[in-house]
Amino acid sequence: MDPLLNEKHEKLRREIREFAEQVIAPEAARLDEEEAFSVELTKKMGDAGIFGINIPQQYGGKGLDTLSYIIAVEELSRVDSSQAATVVAHNSLGLVPILDYGTQEQKDKYLPQLTTGEKLWAFGLTEENAGSDARGTETTAVREGNEWVINGSKRYITNASTPITLGVTLQVMTQTGSGQPKLTTLLVEKGTPGFETQRMLGKMMWRAADTARIYLNDCRVPLDNLLGEEGQGARYMLKTLDGGRLSVAAMGLGLAQGAFEMAVKHAGQRKQFGKPIGRNQAISFKLADMDMKLELARNTLYKACWLKDNGQPYSREAAIAKLYTSEIAREVADEAVQVFGGSGLFKDNPIERFYRDQRLLQIGEGTSEILRLVISRGLGV
């Protein structure tokens, strides 16, 4: 047993692994091929308690620690990154900001609806000229009477256009008087006049997860839809992304674990020159390197989770975990395809999907260059 885990963690891992293998795995290839978001699977994940797993019980969650949530994401990603992406975007980016910065009324209104899998919530940050540089946000919100009037657009927003999406937390620029524009967060429900979504298709990866554009044309919401304080959007975003890095790291770790297990199984079954290819040094060394990288990645990620759960600073460790797991996901998936040889290049082999899915981990929030910047800032140089 990992020294940072207890029996409850191990029990949860077994339960989520069984669920992923029995419920998600049989549908993963079909949903990927059809580029179909599954409301049914989402609801089943809700029934399994995966949504809101780290949200307090008073709001319908399970009230478990960060490490429990990370294990759940890891086990989902071991089978299918698309379903894991749905969970991560909803839990880390959707629920947590409302829990951390919402008023009591906002928490009571939204959180109980969002822990069951019946409804999803999105986090709208990225735009044509804004993403890693949030200060480039061009979506604006202007006060008119007792309302915010929002104009602009977002893109690459996970969970924004599903049939069960309840709403989105938007990063916008607000301005009071002649002062400088302020990065602010607003809650906007789907169905609000002036709020439209368009699903983005043709993705290489996470094809069964919902990715959308959001268009806001004189979209009006009450002033009470302000999340937290006006002008604090950058601070909220950075704290949210710290926790989000842990969950994305879990996706990288889980994907790498799944790819590794497929490679080990294939290496033990396929024979060349009268013996399993895993007995050939060229293959066995690849597997040994994969195993080593997985061990180091898991230790790094679990340590960061332990720091967070114990109220200690963890930004640096989260950045390291996200960077390292993203890189080993690429390396392990690539080597796993090499172990499979030509058969790993065809869609009827799950390793092909894993090879595609890992690519976003190096492009999404916290690219390698940004994460290295975060890490280096803690060195005092």
Number of domains in the chain: 3
Whole-number pLDDT of residue 367: 64
Residue 179 lies in a domain: yes
Residue 171 lies in a domain: yes
Confidence check: pLDDT of 270 > 90 = yes
What is the distance, to the nearest Å, from the Cα of residue 304 to the centroid of all Cα atoms in its chain? 17
Residue 277 lies in a domain: yes
Average pLDDT across the chain, whole number: 93
Distances in Å between the Cα of 326 and the Cα atoms of 5, 211, 217, 290 are: 23, 20, 37, 13
Residue 1 lies in a domain: no
Domain shared by 247 and 360, yes or no: yes
Domain shared by 272 and 373, yes or no: yes
Q: Answer for the pair 173, 182: CB distance below 8 angstroms, yes or no.
A: yes
Across residues 67-95, what is the average pLDDT? 97
Domain shared by 361 and 245, yes or no: yes
Planar angle of CA 33, 37, 38, nearest 5 degrees:
105
User: Looking at the annotation, which residues are catalytic?
Assistant: 365
Residue 136 lies in a domain: yes
Confidence check: pLDDT of 177 > 70 = no
Please report, as a single letter, which amino acid is at residue 264. V
Distances in Å between the Cα of 320 and the Cα atoms of 73, 300, 327 are: 18, 8, 11
Range of the domain at 162: 122-230
Domain stops at, among 189, 208, 230: 230
Domain shared by 65 and 145, yes or no: no
Q: Which of 42-51, 188-197, 313-322, 357-366 has the lowest mean pLDDT?
A: 357-366
Question: Which among 326, 324, 312, 329 is positioned nearest to 375, based on CA atoms?
Answer: 324
Domain shared by 251 and 363, yes or no: yes
Domain shared by 335 and 217, yes or no: no
Residue 2 lies in a domain: no
Backbone phi, psi, residue 151, to 5°: -140, 140
Domain shared by 31 and 87, yes or no: yes
Domain stops at, among 118, 146, 167: 118
Q: How many Å apart are CA 39 and CA 381, to the nearest integer?
A: 49
* CATH number, domain with residue 155: 2.40.110.10
Whole-number pLDDT of residue 67: 96
Domain shared by 223 and 305, yes or no: no
Q: pLDDT tens digit string along 121-165?
A: 999 999 998 877 777 899 999 999 999 999 999 999 999 999 999
Give me the percent of the chain exceeding a pLDDT of 70.
97
Domain shared by 177 and 223, yes or no: yes
Confidence check: pLDDT of 73 > 80 = yes
* CATH number, domain with residue 78: 1.10.540.10
Domain shared by 144 and 110, yes or no: no
Domain shared by 139 and 25, yes or no: no
Q: How many Å apart are CA 298 and CA 305, to the nearest integer?
A: 11
Q: How many Å apart are CA 256 and CA 52, to the nearest integer?
A: 25
Say which DSSP state 367 is in.
Answer: -
Domain shared by 326 and 374, yes or no: yes
* CATH number, domain with residue 353: 1.20.140.10
